[in-house]
Amino acid sequence: MFDNPYIALIFLGLFFRSAGFLVRDELMLRVLMIIGTFCDIVFYALQTPSIWGSVMTNTVLVVINASLIIIIVFERSILFMSKTDRRVFEQFMTLSPGQFRWVNRRARWRIADRRSVLLHEGEASDALFFINAPTYTVEKQGVSYTAKGPAFVGEIMLLQGGVASATVIAHKGAIYAEWDAHKLRCAMRKTVHWATP
């Protein structure tokens, strides 16, 4: 075995794969696995005769890992987001680009064709809103004032339940998004469940 002039490739591949299992970052893990598996491919291809079965099976593993690397990079990148999506993403400080895309796909975007009341003071709502406009109106205990956007509306009810502490009104022409709060809560519970060791 050790008289094989290419045996070092096997141990080099083992080194890279072992290093991959020692890192916590999935992207780095898959990169190291590709390098390690590629070393095996070269070793089997250089044998006399070449061991094509092992070359092909290891090539399949490289292709799978390469495909997942592309997916991971896409989920971590904002390169393919529109300018509007990037502006909205900046408001989701705790989400990765991939998580934001998941949330954004479930949003119902609207343009207010008139003065639109999103929340009523003292009433419960099962919706979360994001107002993507410079300003909106807040009315609380008979007092009305202009608030600055972009901003979320209804996030306290999403997290804690209860009723709206104020009436929130989107101005005519304002762009806003609406989510089903119940579906968001279910998704949040699943995320917590899978993240809990």
Quote the crossing angle between the two packed helices 26-45 and 52-76, to the nearest 10°. Answer: 160
Residue 9, C-beta contacts closer than 8 angstroms, at least 6 positions apart: 39, 40, 42, 43, 46
Give the model's pLDDT for residue 1: 56
Nearest-angstrom CA–CA distance, 78 and 32 = 24
Where would I find the H helices in the chain? 7-22, 26-45, 52-76, 83-89, 97-105, 155-160, 181-195
pLDDT tens for 41-54 read 999 999 989 999 99
CA 143 to chain centre: 39
Residue 103, SS3 per DSSP: helix
Give the model's pLDDT for residue 188: 67
What is the share, in percent, of the chain residues with pLDDT greater than 90? Answer: 53
pLDDT tens for 122-179 read 999 889 999 988 999 999 998 999 999 888 898 888 878 888 989 999 999 999 999 9
